[in-house]
Amino acid sequence: MKKILVLLTALMFTFTLVGCSSTETKKDEPKEQTTAQETKENKESVELNISAAASLKDALEEINTNYEKETGNKVILNLAGSGKLVQQILEGAPADLFISASNAKMKDLVEKGNVEESAVSTLLENDLVMIVPKDSQEKVEKIEDLENVNGKIAIGEVETVPAGQYAKDSLTSLGLWDKIQDKIVYAKDVRAVLSYVEQGEVVAGFVYNSDATVAENSQIAQVVPADSHKPIVYPIAVLKESPNAETAKSYEDFLKTEESTKIFEKFGFKVPTK
């Protein structure tokens, strides 16, 4: 009888231990789940400073909305002429990634040591077009007509705006630059050229095809012959001194996704064939 009592006591003690262990495990499970959830919620977002050519404005704004929603990171977009952006970066302006509208401006940063040459790739391509106001009284249907107009013609600043350099090269190649140079007015970036034409302040202007897609009061008169200027490309690269280099590279990769590519194409850009 005594032995049976001891045996029963031992069994009851064992069941008690198992029950406690099971209860503790169940109590711990929500704690582990909460910890994982807290880790996700408390993950710090990164602020990326992106310096990009002004012609990318509409496409990047739409893509950045998608990127911020998907990653929780914040994109601070600095838009200007590519040459102006290079000046800002060289003067110490914060920039994690640079998208230029010409190889020449990206090359400036490579030569200055701000960008590794191996980090540069081509993101997009574009076309140069001549646009005119929809209600213009001047008959400007082709580039050659510019020689006979009375009004002004807008292009970007040649030194700092790639579209301005492309326009000058084309007009020179077509034998028109010297004939119309006194009619030229210069704008701080390609969007300013678009604005001049939209407001009827000039009879024609040279912008990218991507700019013409958002025009309301102007239209394309002619696509500028591609062989009259250098190829229009948009090189992209993460800055060497970026404090957020890894995140900036992931942003670059996001710009090359199928979803982003469709947005670029919607705004008139061309994506290089691989």
Tokens read off for 51 = 């310096």
Quickly state the pLDDT bin for 274 (edges 50, 70, 90).
low
pLDDT at 133: 97
Span 149-172, pLDDT tens digits: 999 999 999 999 999 999 999 999
Instruction: Answer yes or no: is 163 a known binding residue.
Output: yes
Q: What letter would DSSP give residue 196?
A: H
Q: Is 228 annotated as a binding residue?
A: no
Interval 179-211: pLDDT, tens: 999 999 999 999 999 999 999 999 999 999 999
**Assign residue 92 a region: left if phi > 0, alpha if psi is -120 to 50, beta otherwise?**
left
Measuring CA to CA, which residue among 248, 242, 236, 271 is closest to residue 105? 236
Kindly tell me if the per-residue pLDDT of 233 is higher than 90.
yes
Tell me the C-alpha distance between 269 and 265, whole Å. Answer: 5
Q: CA-CA distance, 158 to 208, in Å (whole number)?
A: 15
Question: Does 208 carry a binding-site annotation?
Answer: yes
The full DSSP string for 225-239 is: PGGGS---EEEEEE-
Q: For the purposes of burial, counting CB atoms within 10 Å of the CB of 173, is it exposed (0-12), middle (13-18) or buried (19 or more)?
A: middle
For residues 10-39, give the mean pLDDT.
Answer: 43
pLDDT band at 34 (very low <50, low <70, confident <90, very high): very low
Map out the domains of the chain with their CATH numbers: 47-125+232-266 (3.40.190.10), 128-228 (3.40.190.10)
Q: Of 55, 211, 203, which Cα lies nearest the Cα of 143?
A: 203
Q: Angle between the 162-173 and 103-111 helix axes, to the nearest 10 degrees? A: 130
% of the chain residues with pLDDT over 90: 82
